[in-house]
Amino acid sequence: MEQHAAVASPEITFPHEPASSTKRVWKVFWILLIITMVELSFGFTIYFIHKNPNFNEHLVLAFKGTIVILSLAKAYYIVSVFMHLGDEIRNMIMTIVLPLLLFIWFIAAFLWDGYAWRNLKNKFNRDLPQQTQPQPEGRKPGALD
Amino acid sequence: MSTTVPAGYKWWSGGKSPFNVSYGKLMMWYFLMSDTFTFGAFLISYATIRMSQNYWPDPNHVFNTFPGFGHTNLPLAFVSLMTFILIMSSVTMVLAVNAGHHMNRRGVEKWMAWTIVGGLAFLGCQAWEWTHLITGEHAVLINGKIQEISTTVKGNPWGPAVAGLMHDGHQVNTPGPIAFGGFFFGITGFHGFHVFSGVVINLIMLIKTKLGHFEQRGHYEMIEKAGLYWHFVDLVWVFVFLCFYLV
C-alpha cells in the first residue's frame, strides 16, 4: 500500500489530492518542447530572411511577435502545471497574476521611450560619442518625439 | 485536481489560511513575484537601450558556435541545448515533487539528483559560452586602426561590417553598441546566479531527504518550495532566451 503525505500545515483546509500518474507532466513537457522547436524554426527563418539585404522588416517583426506570444504560452504552462498555480484557489492566483499586469504599462512606456530617444538623438545630437551608427536610410527623423 | 469547496465556506473567518496554502509556500510565491519584477526591470531596460540604438548586433551572428565545432556557423544550436537541459531539469523537478506527494523517498532522491545534474550541466554550458565570448577576439576598425577585441562590458566587436575590408581572412567590423556586453553578461549572469543558488538549495534538499528529515515530518513540502524556485529559474530562462537569442 502506498501512503500519502500528511497535510503540511494546520492552515490548510482542503489538501490537494496527489496526482495518481505523471501523465500530465509528460504532456506539458511535450508541449513545451514542441513550442520551443517552433520558436527555433522561426529563429532560423529570421536568420535566412536577414541574408537578403532588402528583407521585409514587417515580416521579421511578425515572426518576432509570434515568438513572444509562444514564449508567453510556455510561461503559462510552466506556472500553471509545473508550479501547480492552476490548482490553487482563485483568490491566491489573483494575488500573483494581477500585479503582473503592471508589466503591460512598463513595456509599452519604456519601449516607446527608447524609440523616442533614438529619434531625438538622430535629430539633434549627431556627434554624441555613443551614437556610433548613422541612422538607416528611410527612417523618418523626429517621429514619436 | 481542484478541490471542491462547499458554497458559502468562510475563508476569511480566521484560524486558517484564506488561500489554503501554508505560510512558507505563500511567501515563496510572493518572493518569486518580486523577483519577476527584478528580472522584468532588467529585461525592459535592455529593451529600452536596444530601441534607442540605430544598430544592434544580430544574435544569430554573435551566438553561432558550438563546443568542439570550431568556427562552424551554427546559429541557435548551443542555446537550444541549454534550453533543452533546463526544460528537462524542470520535468525531473516536478517528478520529485510528485514522488514527495506519494511519500516515495527513493523517488524524491532519484529525481532531485537528476535535477541537480541538469542544473550543473546548464551552468557548465553558460561557463563555456561566457569564456568563448570573453576570450574570442575579432578584428574591429577603431580610430582608423584594425584592433582585435573580444566581447566584454567595455568592448563590442559586433558592429556593422566595414564593406570590403578583410583581416587575416576575416571580415572587419566597426565597434557595436557598448551596452550589449553589459546587458548580456549582467542579465545572463544574474540568471546564472539564480541557477547556482537553485542547485545549492536542491543539494540541501537532497541531503535532508537522504537524512530522512521529511519522512519524519510526514510531508515533503520543502521539496515543493524548492521546486517553485527551480521552475521560476526555468521560467526566467524562457524570457532571457527570447530577449537575447531569438529576437
Is 70 exceeded by the pLDDT of residue B3? no
Question: What is the C-alpha separation between B16 and A25, in angstroms, rounded?
Answer: 30
Closest CA to B217 of B207, B230, B226, B208: B208
Residue A138 scores a pLDDT above 60: no
For B186-207, give one letter per residue: b (16+ CB within 10 A) or e. ebbeebbebbbebbebbbebbe
Helix B179-210 × helix B105-135 angle, to 10°: 160
List chain A residues with CB under 8 Å of B177.
Answer: 130, 132-133
When pLDDT is averaged across residues B68-91 and rounded to a whole number, the result is 92
Read off the C-alpha cell for B78: 548551443
ipTM computed for the complex:
0.90
Are B243 and B128 contacting, i.e. CB atoms less than 8 angstroms apart?
Answer: no
Q: Could you tell me the residue ranges of all domains in chain A?
A: 23-87
Task: Say which of B30, B52, B231 has its CB closest to residue A118.
Answer: B52
**pLDDT at A1 (0 to 100):** 43
User: What separation in angstroms does the CA of B166 have from each of A71, B8, B169, B170?
Assistant: 39, 76, 6, 5
Reported as a single tens digit per residue, the pLDDT across B180-190 is 999 999 999 99
Residue B199 predicted with pLDDT over 80 = yes
How high does pLDDT run on average in chain B?
Answer: 93
- Find, in chain B, the residue whose alpha carbon is nearest to that of A111: B48
Write the residue in B83, B218, B241 that is nearest to A6 by C-beta: B218
Q: Which residue of A has its CA nearest to B74?
A: A44
Q: Identify which has the larger pLDDT, A130 or A15.
A: A15
Give the separation between CA B84 and CA B82, rounded to whole angstroms: 5
CA angle A50, A71, B237 (to 5 degrees): 95
B-chain residues within 8 Å CB-CB of A18?
98, 101-102
Q: B138, B150 in Cβ contact below 8 A?
A: yes
Q: CA–CA separation, B127 vs A44, rounded Å?
A: 25
The Cα A44–Cα B80 span in angstroms is 12
Closest-CA distance of chain A to residue B219, Å:
5
Cell (9 digits) for B163: 564593406
Q: Which of B5, B37, B91, B142 to mutate to test the interface with A (most CBs of A within 10 A)?
A: B91
CB B173: neighbour CB atoms within 10 A? Answer: 22
Chain A neighbors of B174, CB-CB under 8 A = 132-133
- The confidence score (pLDDT) of residue A145 equals 45
Contacts 24+ apart (CB under 8 A), A97-100: A99/B33, A100/B33, A100/B36
Q: Which domains, and CATH codes, for chain B?
A: 28-134+175-246 (1.20.120.80)
pLDDT digits (tens, 9 = 90+) for A54-91: 888 899 999 999 999 999 999 999 999 999 999 898 99
Decide if pLDDT at B165 tops 90.
no
The candidate with the shortest Cα–Cα distance to B229, out of B203, B178, B194, is B194
pLDDT at B118 over 80: yes
Cβ B103–A88 below 8 Å, yes or no? no
Which residues in chain B have Cβ-Cβ distances shorter than 8 Å to A135?
Answer: 54
User: If you average pLDDT over residues A23-29, what whole number do you get?
Assistant: 94
pLDDT at residue A137 tops 90: no
Nearest to B229 by CA among B20, B34, B44, B41: B34
Contacts of A4 in chain B (CB under 8 A): 101-103
**With contacts defined as CB-CB under 8 Å, which chain A residues touch B220?**
5
What would the mean pLDDT of B177-182 be, rounded to a whole number? 94
List the single residue in A74, A87, A121 with the smallest CB-CB distance to B2.
A87
- How large a percentage of chain A has pLDDT more than 70? 84
Q: Which of B22, B80, B239 sits opposite A71 (nearest CB)?
A: B239
Size of interface A-B (CB pairs under 8 A): 207
Find the closest chain A residue to B27 by CA distance. A96
Structure confidence at residue B30 (pLDDT) = 96
User: Would you place residue A132 in the very low, low, confident or very high pLDDT band (cuts 50, 70, 90)?
Assistant: low
Q: Which residues pair with B141 in a beta bridge?
A: B146
Whether residue B39 contacts residue A102, with contact meaning beta carbons closer than 8 Å, is answered with: no
User: Cβ of A129: how many Cβ atoms within 10 Å?
Assistant: 7
Q: Report whether B158 contacts B176 (CB < 8 A).
A: yes
Cα separation, B161 vs B101, in Å, equals: 57
Q: Given the DSSP bridges, would you call strands B161-167 and B170-173 parallel, antiparallel or unpaired?
A: antiparallel
pLDDT band at A140 (very low <50, low <70, confident <90, very high): low
Model confidence band, residue B222 (pLDDT cutoffs 50, 70, 90) = very high
Distance from CA of B79 to the nearest CA of A (A): 10
Q: Percent of chain B having pLDDT more than 70?
A: 98
Reported as a pLDDT band with limits 50, 70 and 90, residue B8 is confident
Interface touch A44/B98, C-beta < 8 Å: no
